[in-house]
Structures are given as structure tokens and as C-alpha cells.
Amino acid sequence: MNSDPHQKVQIGHLKRDAYLYVRQSTLRQVFENTESTKRQYALRQRAIALGWPEDRIIVIDNDLGQSGASSADREGFQRLVAEVGVGHAGIVLGLEVSRLARNSTDWHRLLEICAITDTLILDEDGVYDPAHFNDRLLLGLKGTMSEAELHVLRARLQGGILSKARRGELEMRPPVGLVYNAEGAITLDPDQQVQHCLRWLFTTFRRTGSAMATARIARQEGLAFPRRCGKGVHKGKLLWTGLDHSQVLRILHNPRYAGAFVYGRTHMRKTVDGSSHMQRMAQDQWDTLIPNAHAGYITWEEYEWNQRRLHESAQAIGSDRRRGPPREGPALLQGLVVCGRCGGRMTVRYHSRKEHLCPEYVCQHEGIEHAEPICQRVCGVGIDQAIGELLIEAVNPMALEVTLAVQHELQARMEEADRLRHKQVERAQYEADLAQRRYMRVDPDNRLVADSLEADWNQRLRSLAEAHEEYGRRHEQDRRILTDEQRATILALATDFPRLWRDPRTPDRERKRMIRLLLEDVTLNRDHQITLQIRFKGGAHKTLNLPLPMSSWQKIVTPAEVVAQIDELLNHHTHLQIASILNERGIVSGAGKRFNPHMIARLQRSYGLKSRYDRLREAGLLTLHEMADALHLSPTHVKIWNRHGLIRGHAYSDKNECLYEPLGSNPPRKSMGVKFSRRLAD
């Protein structure tokens, strides 16, 4: 079939270019397996023997050091496929199929394009025409064998790795803080500063329950944390930098710090475009997990508790997130409230009222998922107040014990931070001494080396001075805070815990942390009243019944006793007079405002109070026109007589509109030339 390759090479093939593809899988093979590279370049002579001139032979060798498992990152192979596709190639030369591709998809795609464009393929065994069935069948078989060979090699290597990993004997680069000793066993890093830093991190996270809070405290304390450089010029060296959030998460998620040997925490997955991405596997899908395989900084139980705490705090978990860390909002039961109707977790909403945030607990998850009305919503102001009073009642007998525990924790926390800062000073001192010894051992006449070592020594001395200064400043600051402010706060906690709880300067986050130390959860149910089922840590239960919260309009309703006073004052006073009397008595409306005539009139209408006009009419008083008819006077003269006291009128409005008392048996009489004082009958 391939005994005479010249029969397959036609004039049309020779009019086009010959493309020689050269590839080695790794850079190490490029430098060490030079014979294979020479054999690939020697295929140019085969092309010349078939009739191609030397200047028409194009060598594509920019994929040297690239694996043939995929064409995603092989620019040379992509260029070759493009040239074949546009019909520029008469023949493609490769030492063997594995040089061109070790992936059936890439190989068969190349064969298909070559068959369409009538392009030949040459390897060490002969020349093939992909348009012929027999040649294409043979090329396909070679491609399958090449891919199978790669699979066998990979399976053999992976099998050895898995076998060693299942026994816990596979050597992997340990995380910072763990090293291999002379016997090949994992031990704690002999550097005491590294050990102190890691123990401080786990202790701080156990106290705060938040990776972000741990990183923030480290930054506030000015603590440096170790990193083991994995690549580059500083590969394997220990670098000291600031602690960031991602590093805290990597340490907390790493089971090696719990003394466990693990393998298979991540798997590489292929994507549609041929690239790979790393996928983290769940713990039950790890290939190997051997607890207590070597020394660690924490126990396996503490590691699992850390994972649960991080899982609960993760915002991206969605519906699986049961509760989060205490936040800054005023809702004291954030993350602890359970709906008494459906059993789901209730979320928190905030409303702004009079420039203050008022919490509201809402059960809305199912309503959002199924486009239904929310299950229930309860105003949180009264609930938080009741929980606060309950907390004061529960904590007050144990105030002294809590005080001692808090004092001990604060003292231990500052001493641990002080020890870590002192370790930084010791390391700076060691590096300065080492630079000094290097400078002392150098030949003084070798000025190029001596000047460099002297500059390094001076730099280490400056770093040492800065470390001493920072340590002294932090030490003095911690001592001053502990002896002045914190001791006064601790004393106040022991003597007057309710005042501390109600102090507006106490952050809401701290109140929430106090509540979480005592309460497991609170179940809310709103019916004709609000029922709180409170579950304490340890299993104790308590039930509270609270009245329904008042709506906004109910909160500004004028009290009933004020309405009663207005009703009484309407017997003898107008609206303006009533408002003045109430203001003199210091009485305010339901909204806390001073009274005015319009407010009195509105209250009279709202509560159906009888007006002063109706009250006077029921008492038999006459209107202006009725009095004018009785006295045979004009209305104007009736007003004049009222001003001079001849008749008696009672104002029923703030415009001095009056009703008049009925005339007696001896009414005043109208007489020309007689003074008003003598008009009344004797």
C-alpha cells in the first residue's frame, strides 16, 4: 500500500507547500532527547526526495515543549490546521502520529480537513492519502494507539501515586508550618515564630468565628505571617508578609494542620474549549483521608468545627446557609429566628423611622421561590427589648464569673500578640547578626562584595531598629489600654451589667455575640399575640407572650385622658383657649407636639365630641338674631349692648361669635338720652 509513495504524490501536491511539524512534549525533552528532535528535522530530506524544493518546505517548530494532549495552547498545530484548511499544504510531515496529536478529536479533525483539501500525510513509515479509505483507516488506528499509549502512561503513573497516597507515604509539598524531618516524616516547623503565628490564627478564629475578623485583627496588631514561596527565585524560602483574608481561608480549609493526610481534594476537569480547570471535591469524594497521620496544630474535631463555622458564614452558600456571623445592624436575633408556622429561617429587613433603623423579622424564602405571599412578618423592636431584658436577668447572677473570664481572655490575647511581635524582633536581630557575620568574613580588598554585604548589613540594622520601635510602641499601647480603659470596663461589667447592656455606645455586634453565647434559637409565631419560644444553650426553654406591636398611626394617637380633658374644657372654652390651657399644663399630642386650635378642632371631629355651640344651645342660649328680635334691636346694637354688659354673651368660636343668655323678667330697655348704666330697670 505504501511501498511506492511517489505514486501518491501528484503534480497538484507538488505545486503546494510541504509543512514539517516538529514537537517535543516538555522542555526537558527538548534539551535532553536531542536525537528525537534531529530525526524530526531530518524529514525535510524525505520531502526533498519526493520532489519538493527546499525553499517550499515550511518548518513549524514553535510547539517545542508543549504537550500533544490538547490543541488549546499549541499555536503551531493551529497554524498547521489553518494552512491545510485553506489549501496551501500539499503534504504534512511528522515523525509519527503522536508528534502531531495525542487526542483523537484533534487527529481526526486534521484527517477530515486533509481529505477535503487533498493533502497527504507522511510519517516515518510512509505516505498516506486521507481521502483513501484504507489509508484513513490505518491513520485512525495509529491515532487511537497514540492516545491509548498516553492513557497507559498516565494510568501507570497515577496508579503509583494513588497507591502511595493510600498508604499515606506520598511526599507532597507541606503547607507553611509543617516540614519533613530527616526521617521523611511530617513535623511542626522548628521555627517557634511560625508555630506561634499559626496557633494565634486558630485561637483568634475560634474566638471571633470569622476569617475576615481574624485578618482584620492581625492587621490592626501589625503582625507578620509566614509564606512559603512555591516558585521563582525565592522558591522554598520563608517570606514574612501581612495576613490577608485568602490566606486565612487557605489555612482553615487545609486538613494538614489537623494532622490528617489527604489526597484528591481537587480534580482537573476538561472544558468544551479543551482547557482545564480545577474543581474542589467534597470531603466524602477525597481519594485518601487518614486522620492523625502526623503532628498538627489543631485536632480533627476542631477542624470540622471550623468547616461548619465557615459554611454557616459563607454568603454564597444560599439556602444552605443557616446563620451568619454577627453584623452591624441593630437586629439582635439576626440568624437565630425560626418561623413558628413553616419552620424556616427568618431574615431581617430594616426600616428607617425618625433617622433610626428598626428591624423586622420576615419569613419570605418560600414566598419568593413560589411567588406567594410571605409567611409572616414581625416587628423586631419589642422582641429585641424583651430578649435584652431576659439576657440581663440570665447574666446578672453570673456577672463576676463572666468578668473573670473576659479579663483572662483579654490578658491572654494581648500576651500572645506581644509574644508574636517579640518573635519578629528576634528574627530581625538574627538577620542583622547573620548579615554582620557575612560582612566580617569577606576579604576587605574585595570591595565589590564588601560594599554589597555592608549595604545589606545596614538595611538589616534599620529593619531591626524599626522592629524594636514598633514592638515598644505596641507594648506600651497594650499595657495602657489594659490598665486604664479595659480594667474600668471590666469593673463596670461586674457591678452594673444592665447599664452596660443599655449603654448606646455598646456596639450591636457585641450584643449579638453575647446573645449567641446563651441562646440557640428563637421561634416566633404571630397570632392574636406574639409568642416567643426561646431555646437556651444546654436545652433549657422559655416562652414569652408579647402584645402585637402598634402600627404607626396607633403610636401617635392622642391619649384618652387628654381627649377627656378636651371634652370637659369645651363646656367653658373655645378651641384657642383650650389649646393654651393644655400647653400651660405641659400636655402634648400623641405625636409629641404642642396643641393649636386646628388640632383641637380635628380631635373634636375625630372623636365625635359635641361642639361648644351645640352645648350652649342645649343650655337655652339665644343666637344673635333671636336676641335682636327679643329686644327689638339690630344685631349691631346687640353686640354693643353685650360689650357694655347690658346682656350676657358666651363666645363659642375664636372669632368672638357669641350665644346670649335668655332675657329675664326685667330686660334692659331702649331709651334715648339715657346712659347705658341706667338702661337696666331698677
**Which residues participate in catalysis according to the annotation?**
25
Question: Is residue 657 helix, strand or coil?
Answer: coil
Residue 441: which residues within 8 A CB-CB, separation 6 or more?
none
∠ CA 534-536-541, rounded to 5°: 55
Q: What is the DSSP string of 26-91?
A: SHHHHHH-HHHHHHHHTHHHHHHHTT--GGGEEEE-TTTT--TT-STT-HHHHHHHHHHHTT-EEE
Give buried/exposed letters for 90-99 (b at 16+ CB in 10 A, else e). bbbbbbebbb
Q: What is the DSSP string of 384-431?
A: HHHHHHHHHHHHGGGHHHHHHHHHHHHHHHHHHHHHHHHHHHHHHHHH
Q: 70: how many CB neighbours lie within 10 A of its CB?
A: 19
Are 31 and 65 in contact, with CB atoms under 8 Å apart? no
- Closest to 58 (Cα-Cα) out of 66, 71, 47: 47
Residue type present at position 354: K
Q: Report how far residue 99's alpha carbon sits from residue 21's, in angstroms, rounded to the nearest whole number.
A: 8
- Closest to 383 (Cα-Cα) out of 497, 533, 532: 532
Do the strands 376-379 and 356-363 form a parallel or antiparallel pair, or are they unpaired?
A: antiparallel
Are 543 and 575 in contact, with CB atoms under 8 Å apart? no
Q: What angle in degrees, to the nearest 10, is found between the helix axes of 597-606 and 560-569?
A: 100
- Closest to 595 (Cα-Cα) out of 610, 606, 605, 584: 584
Alpha-helix runs per DSSP H in 442-496: 447-481, 487-495
Question: Is residue 268 helix, strand or coil?
Answer: strand
Burial class (CB in 10 A: 0-12, 13-18, 19+), 121: buried
